[in-house]
A = this chain, B = another copy of it.
């Protein structure tokens, strides 16, 4: 019989605050990028490739924080568009090397500026944000390393 900390409202839950803010950012960027064909996940991919250089789909998966199967169709679209290239590795025929193109760089440069500008508009305290970034990063590691308890609805549904 362990009551642990009973959850009262959604606002007390970190996962909900993260979920909620994520969706707010999603709508924000959808408005910022509308009509350009760029989306937030594509921006993340361009950033990862720009900073980390050419890399395999799996490496990109780790950097971007999404599963490889989510990346596959996205990368195909971006390659068709011309923002990135996809090349079978000579050394290992299983691997696909992904790289940003000059056109992708151009897009990224402008997107970076927009995001910088938008961030400045938000007037967020740098110290609090740094602390939050650190905290969120630590939590992410813990969540990923953790084995979640399993929900059991026997007798209910």
Which A positions have Cβ atoms within 8 angstroms of B?
2-25, 27-29, 31-34, 36-38, 40, 44, 47-48, 51, 63-66, 81-83, 103, 106-107, 110-124, 128-129, 131-133, 135-137, 139-140, 142-144, 146, 148-153, 156-157
Residues of B within 8 A of A18 (CB): 18, 21-22, 25, 136
Given A4-B117, A32-B151, list of 16 further CB < 8 A pairs? Answer: A4-B113, A5-B120, A7-B47, A15-B29, A16-B65, A18-B18, A20-B140, A24-B143, A29-B148, A37-B157, A111-B151, A118-B148, A118-B149, A122-B146, A132-B132, A132-B135
Question: Which residues of chain B are near A117, meaning CB under 8 Å?
Answer: 2, 4, 149
Chain A facing B: main interface SS? helix
Nearest residue in B to A142 (C-beta to C-beta)?
B122
Say yes or no: B14 contacts A132, CB within 8 Å: yes
Assembly CA distance A12 to B5 (angstroms): 32
